[in-house]
Structure 1
Amino acid sequence: MRLDQYEKELVAIAEEIDYYLMKSGASKEDSYDVTQDVLVKILESNLVLPLEKIRAWMYRVAVRTYIDTYRREKRYREILQREFFRQELTRYDQDNGSELYDLVLELATSYRLVIDLYYFQGFSVKEISHILGYSQAKVKVTLMRGRNKLKIMIKERGLSHEELI
């Protein structure tokens, strides 16, 4: 009976950690995964600490696990942006030779990536936010600003609609 109470306390602490991580900016899925990882680590290590100490241990492990996960995902996004999207931009440019796309290539990287994913690759705002790790609001603002910069470039060069397609 005493072990059941200990397990219930562990689950309650895990739920508290899950809420804490989401409140701190982690996605629901990430916070759940991290919390599960913490519980698995407890089981794998056969760790039995008093409840006063286990709570602090679980929080410490959860925060470290989340930071490691965040760093790994950030590196992954950087690699995607640096390698994959640059290749996609170059390939599209060579295949179509569109002057509009030439203008897109001149934009700052943040605008270029979002515009390419939205208009040329067909991703939704939600999908782009997931791919780049941005909020949906940031994706929308970046799209708007990128379009405005493209309009300015088009006006400055005196290009017509037919020349851009």
Structure 2
Amino acid sequence: MTRTEYNRTVDHFSDGVYRFILKMCKSKEMAEDVVQDSFMKLWEEVEYIAYDKAKSFLFSTAYHRMIDVLRRETKFGDIENVADRAGDVQEGYTGLQEILDMALEKLPPVQKTVILLRDYEAYSYEEIAGITGLNESQVKVYIFRARAFMKAYIRRPDVVV
């Protein structure tokens, strides 16, 4: 990949990677750090990665870096950082987007990841498998289960009322 292609990659994919990581970790600072680390890793590997594979490389690198950071923070982190990302319990109807966000937060991490990649970032099953290290069948199962949970969650009267 050339320097021009790298710059084009930054322009085209930085917002998408940032949104994906922010949805996963709920911390602006952590998301910014993870995205920056991912682009640094891409720059280090720039001569080995083709431009058409850069998007997948970035999302995969960012995902794995975020998992590492969250594990380290859970193991060694302080309670204040965890509390910041926990979110507040909201009472009453707050709009469909908020309800979807609340349902998304209740998903297990792997289901949340595949839903974000598929429904929010429009990746194919094959690309999601490459990013997460799962096979396509597992990706499809996790997406099905996540959608079923979210559908059931949205139908609950106590959530909507």
TM-score, scaled to structure 1? 0.44
Task: Give the structure, 1 or 2, with the largest relative contact order (CA under 8 Å, sep 6 or more).
Answer: 2
